[in-house]
Amino acid sequence: MTIEVRNVGENWWEIPRRGGMLVPGRILATAKQMGTLTADPCMQQVVNVAHLPGIVGYALGMPDIHWGYGFPIGGVAATRLEDGVISPGGVGYDINCGVRLVQTRLVFEEVRDRIPEVVGALVAAIPAGVGARGAIPRLTPREVRRVLERGARWAIDEGYGEAQDLERAEEGGCLASADPDAVSETAVERGAPQLGTLGSGNHFLEIEVVEQIYLPEVAARFGLEIGRVAFLVHSGSRGLGYQVCDDSLAAMGKSMDRYRINVPDRQLACAPIRSPEGKRYLGAMGAAANFAWANRQIMMSLAERTFEHVLGVSPRDLGARLLYDVCHNVAKLESHRVDGQSETLCVHRKGATRAFGRGHRDVPRAFRDLGQPVLIPGDMRRGSYVLIGTERAMNETFGSSCHGAGRVLSRAAARKAARGRNLGAELRERGVTAFAHGRFALAEEMPDAYKDVSEVVEVVDRTGISRKVAKLRPIGVLKG
Amino acid sequence: MKFEELEHTADAGLRVFGNDLREVLENAAEGMFSLIGAVQFEERDLVERRLEFPYSTAEAALLQWLRALLLEFDLRGFFPVRVSLELQPARAAASMHGIAFDPQRHALRTELKAVTEHGLHVKRRPGGGLEAEVIFDV
């Protein structure tokens, strides 16, 4: 089914209100991108999100929007605290799936030949793929609940990283609203063996070289220098988060009649933010988000140790420093301006990145006069970007930006397109050493399966909701 | 045909067929684990597990059944290779034979994070029998 959209500005498109939509939809895309989107199921998902009680402004789609379940991936929706709902479908199963960028002092030209060896050692150090477990000693349920309460700080106290890392993570790597008691025993049991593991699907650890700088002054403040090696860690809350989502959807599905809520897709099950079900989900989701921060913190530290061991360098010579850690799947209570008034909203970001502008108190002190670093991973060949949040994003997208390239091929279509090709060799020819645990992981995650991240980033840069700071080129990839 | 893979941009999906709900559920289990991977096994490696669950609608039965299987796999590494179900009006009982999954020995395909309710349905086919669709988060 084709959804009616109209152009309302350069790279801005609107889905007018109709039927039970409470607000219009707004999509950020070029005319070319919109041409392929109008008949895509993700447009109907924007329409569905616009039905959520208490939604304000618009149901938003970032330029990497694609078909998800419930919300589109690349979807943003803000609901009023007073009479709005919170929806686990607006966060997704992989709560606080996110990405962190770690810079090093290594010069690419000096370590170029050692990258395949580093990738091989990372494969051994960081469990990944289906059923991955055992990165760190198995935790007792009580310890897991401490992780849920403390987030990245728990990992640092256990020797994975340094206290200064906390300043460089969204929310300081811990949502204070977390309520470990709202997390089921089953979820805790699922999470216990999985802390410090990458998982599967689109999760990865990727070694990069800084290739291009667009805003030299900002890049210098971020510590980004052409030719230096960095790495990205992309993972989330593993089975613990999936179970929190399942548990919450079941509870909210049962309570919707009581709250007289009707939504067009069962995956959008929701409850008033201030209801017992809403509060419980906020607490459980926060706890799962904290698990994800601890997870990425541990993997970052394991990767640093691997670099040191393989290259025979000291921590000082490696000079690893977290630039920033962002969430892609989360709902948070934030203050935004609505009709000129400051209001507390529940901002759902499903495959979207917070992109706060300069001066915001939630931007780390070190960058507060600049804006928040925004990390946009692309694909295994074309690279990734570092951007910076803007005040424009605060005004137009509830302080949000895109989160990646966005898929264009289904996994089945990607496998078909990869038939007869040696993707590992193709990537090697382009200077990328890639390893994947899953039998079809390289094929399903092949560069052709994704939009060109440069085109996606260009849209957010031109519309001013984020500004390009630097481009990174992949040189080593570990996939689940 | 027992099932076919659905095209979905980001995730994975199945269209499942069966003469009745019992067959749809059995075929859906086979389909879901075909997405996770294929394992080699010998009869002597098989262990039996049993599972019971209540259900209200065909969709609820499909959702609960697949979620229970995925949970067994994630928590205990139980990879079923043969399942049979008995359905009563509001309760299902399953007997499952499977292997203990070992990530060191079994190279599998992908992790299914969850069974979603997005577009989930079970409907009658014009020519007889049932057809179901289910999307998994990958």
* Structure confidence at residue B38 (pLDDT): 83
Residue B104 clears pLDDT 90, i.e. is over it: no
Cα B131 → chain centroid: 14
The three state secondary structure string of B86-125 is EEECCEEEEEEEEEECCCCCCCCCCCCCEECCCCCEEEEC
* Structure confidence at residue A438 (pLDDT): 80
User: Kind and range of the H or E element at A189?
Assistant: helix A185-191
A418-A424-A427 Cα angle (round to 5): 100
> Which among B71, B110, B118 has CB closest to A267?
B118
> Which among B109, B119, B135 has CB closest to A438?
B109
User: pLDDT per residue over A198-239, tens digit each?
Assistant: 988 889 999 999 999 999 999 999 999 999 999 999 999 999
Percentage of residues in chain B having pLDDT higher than 70: 99
Query: DSSP 3-state assignment of A416?
Result: helix
In single-letter form, the type of residue at position A388 comes to I
**A102 half-sphere exposure, CB direction, 13 A CA radius:** 28
Phi, psi values for residue A425, rounded to 5° = -70, -40
In single-letter form, the type of residue at position B107 comes to A
pLDDT, mean over chain A: 96
Report residue B92 as tokens: 């299902």
Query: What average pLDDT score do residues A265-277 get?
Result: 96
Cα B38 → chain centroid: 14
* Structure confidence at residue A256 (pLDDT): 96
Question: pTM score, two decimals?
Answer: 0.96
Residue A133 clears pLDDT 80, i.e. is over it: no
Count of CB atoms situated within 10 Å of the CB of B88: 10
Give residue limits of the domains in chain A: 6-92+333-351, 116-199+238-327, 200-235+373-480
Q: How far is B9 from chain A (nearest CA, A)?
A: 4
Chain B CA closest to residue A416:
B7
Where residue A377 falls among pLDDT bands split at 50, 70, 90? very high
Catalytic positions of A, please? 403
Percentage of residues in chain A having pLDDT higher than 70: 100
Residue B10 clears pLDDT 90, i.e. is over it: no
Query: What average pLDDT score do residues A241-268 get?
Result: 95
* Structure confidence at residue A30 (pLDDT): 96
| Local structure of residue A450 (DSSP, 8 states) | B
Percentage of residues in chain A having pLDDT higher than 90: 92
In single-letter form, the type of residue at position A100 comes to R
Report residue A431 as tokens: 């200077």
* Structure confidence at residue B105 (pLDDT): 80
Q: Report chain B residues whose CB lies below 8 A from the CB of A70.
A: 116, 118
* Structure confidence at residue A135 (pLDDT): 79
* Structure confidence at residue A437 (pLDDT): 85
User: pLDDT per residue over A317-341, tens digit each?
Assistant: 999 999 999 999 999 999 999 999 9
Where residue B103 falls among pLDDT bands split at 50, 70, 90? confident
Who wins on pLDDT, B104 or A105? A105
User: pLDDT per residue over B32-48, tens digit each?
Assistant: 999 998 888 899 999 99
Residue B111 clears pLDDT 90, i.e. is over it: no
Interchain proximity B10–A242, CB inside 8 Å: no
